[in-house]
Amino acid sequence: MPASQFDPDAFPDGWGHRHLLDLERLSTAEIRLLLDTAARFKEATDGCRRKLSVLTGRTIVNLFFENSTRTRTSFSLAARRLGADVVDFTASSSSLSKGESFIDTARNLEAMGVDAVVVRHATPGTPHLLAQHLSVGVINAGDGPHEHPTQGLLDIFSIREHRGDLAGATVGLVGDIAHSRTARSNLWGLLKLGAKVILCGPPTLVSLRWKELGVEVSHDLDAIVPRCDVLNLLRIQFERQNTRPFPSVREYAHLYAMTRERLKRAKKDLLILAPGPINRGVEVTAEVADCPQSLILDQVTNGLAVRMGVLWLTCGGRSVAGDAAARRPPARAV
Ligand code: CP
């Protein structure tokens, strides 16, 4: 669809942020707006396959300081499908190695006329720091164990696509909750949309203190499986752990992997999610990862829709597509 035929008024309005830093500080209405915008983009691009040149002339920088397959590729593709230019910044071959600071690096990229920076970093709060120093949009693509807002959104989008409203749904987040940014973003988004959240894993990775946020905590996967409408199976983040939180991976898998046997005791319409990368045989068996209830690859497709929506909202898509510098709400940092 050429930009001239693209009707920004057909999209929901009400986004007042320049950045997307986390889901914790967004309102329920803002989370719904992000999800609704993603749904419109999925539809308008024929399932995220077709180009829709509504960000032509805009430039997005991917600033990734941790490895990524899905998020980095997905942001690049989403930007290109909307007609934007993409710069993939590679930290290892940059002038960071000559002593340039992270902020100076980002400000130099900004000076080249980019419109948004997508950042992944091992240090929690890095996107928030960038947002204080840049005047362009900053999108958090994962900051250490803190948050991964577009992952939370695409997980929730995938659940919503299959069962409609999240209110009343029981969603189990299983695995390494202590180190999982995906768990945190899911938790905030799910609670705001009215879902019941159960955090499940070994006591060393799932503290009882999470209950203070209004979630249930369980250390017994077999006890919660029959009650769940959705299970989101999280990877053990060995790279963020100083000591091993359980005796062996084999013992962990025995107690917490989603298996065919456990699936037999689940609701018939249980949805299986995993943010990826998945470790087959650890948090989920191959049979369950590939079973009909698994949304794992749907999540990846929906990641494109979510990121198209986020880029469009944070890069001033409405003004590109039509009138509307005047209508666009004043940008404010979250
Ligand atoms: N789910 C996710 O963030 O995957 P990547 O690390 O491959 O981006």
Q: Are 81 and 52 in contact (CB under 8 A)?
A: yes
Q: Is 243 a residue whose pLDDT tops 90?
A: no
**188 contacts 245 by C-beta, under 8 angstroms:** no
Average pLDDT, the chain: 91
- Confidence grade of residue 320 (pLDDT, cut at 50, 70, 90): very low
Helix (H) or strand (E) holding 330: none
Beta strand 116-121 with 59-64 is parallel
**Residue to mutate, 63, 71, 279, 295, ligand 1, most ligand atoms under 8 Å from C-beta:** 71
Q: Of 8, 74, 84, 87, whose CA–CA distance to 53 is shortest?
A: 84
- Model confidence at 5, pLDDT cuts 50, 70, 90, reads low
The Cα 40–Cα 31 span in angstroms is 14
pLDDT at 328 over 50: no
Q: Can you tell me the distance from the alpha carbon of 281 to that of 235, in angstroms, rounded to the nearest whole number? A: 11
pLDDT at 3: 58
Contact 21, 138 (CB under 8 A): yes
Q: Where in the chain is the domain with CATH 3.40.50.1370?
A: 3-147+302-327, 149-298
- 3-class SS of residue 224: helix
- Does the structure show a pLDDT above 60 at 330? no
pLDDT-based confidence at residue 317 (cuts at 50, 70, 90): low
Where residue 281 falls (left for φ over 0; alpha for ψ -120 to 50; beta otherwise) is left
Query: What's the confidence (pLDDT) of residue 2?
Result: 62
On whether the CB atoms of residues 168 and 185 are closer than 8 A, the answer is: no
- C-alpha–C-alpha distance, residues 29 and 32, integer Å: 5
Q: What is the average pLDDT across 219-228? A: 98
Specify the pLDDT at position 1: 63
Q: pLDDT band for position 43 (50/70/90)?
A: very high
Q: Is the per-residue pLDDT at 318 higher than 70?
A: no
Question: Class assignment of domain 149-298?
Answer: alpha beta
The architecture of the domain spanning 3-147+302-327 is 3-Layer(aba) Sandwich (3.40)
Contact 18, 314 (CB under 8 A): yes
Cα–Cα distances in angstroms (integers) from residue 101 to residues 105, 309, 323, in the given order = 6, 31, 38
Question: What is the pLDDT averaged over residues 137-165?
Answer: 97
pLDDT computed for residue 4 by the predictor: 55
pLDDT confidence band for 325 (50 / 70 / 90): very low
User: Average of pLDDT values for 221-228?
Assistant: 98
**What pTM does this model have?**
0.92
CA of 3 to the centre of ligand 1 (A): 30
pLDDT of residue 319: 47
Token digits for 334? 């979250």
Non-local CB neighbours of 11 within 8 Å, separated by 6+ positions: 37, 40, 312, 318
Q: Determine the atom of ligand 1 nearest the C-alpha atom of 67.
A: 6
Cα–ligand 1 centroid distance for 32 (angstroms)? 23
In angstroms, what is the span from residue 23 Cα to ligand 1's centroid?
Answer: 17
Q: What pLDDT, on the 0 to 100 scale, is given for residue 331? A: 37
The tens digit of pLDDT for each residue in 19-31 reads 999 999 999 999 9
- Candidate from 70, 151, 307 with most ligand 1 atoms within 8 A of CB, to mutate: 70
Instruction: Give residue ranges with CB within 6 A of ligand 1.
Output: 68-71, 142, 151, 275-277
